[in-house]
Every structure is written in structure tokens, then in C-alpha cells.
Amino acid sequence: MIVLVDTNVLLDVLARREPHYQASAQVWTLAECGEITAFISAISFNHIYYILRKAESKTAAYNALKLLRNVFESVAPDAKIINQAIDSACDDFEDAIQFHSAVRVGAHVLITRNPNDFPQSSVAIATPEEFLKIRAEHHAATDHEEDA
């Protein structure tokens, strides 16, 4: 399954933000173990660096960037994605970049804590909790088909 993980989910893990940490960390672990193909928009790197540098330290911010680089594939916001984001119906430009990045990589799901900020389309929009439930149901159905 191909997913794009929004910056807020990544920050939940890196900053151990409760009550969101547990489900977001489970998504991260699935990516780290290669059980899902997980992408992030390249703009997540600068947002995370800025936030963690202010909240913790420059060293912590760079360590976080290294973790991201090692776990996730990144999607560069090229001119096409930027133009799509500018012309989109999304109220938030950053969300529009995330959404069009998900479309670019053929993501099945965009995982975010703000699902209402994204348009309904062929890309499913889900919170980490919703994604984990969808994934569990998908595996249950696949296991049932294999048993038949």
C-alpha cells in the first residue's frame, strides 16, 4: 500500500505529541519495516527542522531530518505540484502541496490528523487511527481470501 504521510503525523512521532503519538508511531513503524510504501513531501523537511530547532535544538532537528530521510521516500514539489496547489480548492497552500504530492506518487491514502482540510478524490484521506483500521480490515479480508 502506498501512502503519503502529512507533516503533522511526523511531528507527532518526533515530538512525542500526545494523545496522537501512539497511532502515528505505528504508521511510522509500518514504513520503517517496509510494510507500507511511505512518502513525505519534501516541504515536510523544512517545516520539521524549523519546529524542532525552536522546540528542542539544532542537533535534535538535524537528527530528525536524518531519520526522515532514512525511513521515507520524498516527493519534490516541482512546478507542476506548485501550480496544482495554487489552483486547487484547498484552503491551505501547504495542505494542497501535500495532497498533490500524494496524487503524484499514486498514494492510496494520505495520512493526516486534519482529514477535513483535504478534498475528496481518488486518494483516501485518513487519520493515523483510521488508516490503521483500514489496513487491518484489508489484511483480514486478504487473509480470509487466502484461506478460502
Contact residues for 146 (Cβ-Cβ < 8 A; gap 6+): none
Q: Is 20 in contact with 12 (CB distance < 8 Å)?
A: yes
CATH class of 2-147: alpha beta
Q: What are phi and psi of 109, to 5 degrees?
A: -140, 140
pLDDT per residue, tens digit, the chain (148 aa), is 999 999 999 999 999 999 999 999 999 999 999 999 999 999 999 999 999 999 999 999 999 999 999 999 999 999 999 999 999 988 899 999 999 999 999 999 999 999 988 988 889 999 999 999 989 988 777 665 555 5
Each domain of the chain, given as residue ranges in start order, spans 2-147
Residue 117, SS3 per DSSP: helix
Place of cell 532537528: 61
Q: Which cell numbers in the block locate residue 33?
A: 519495516
Return d(Cα 148, Cα 31) in angstroms, integer.
29
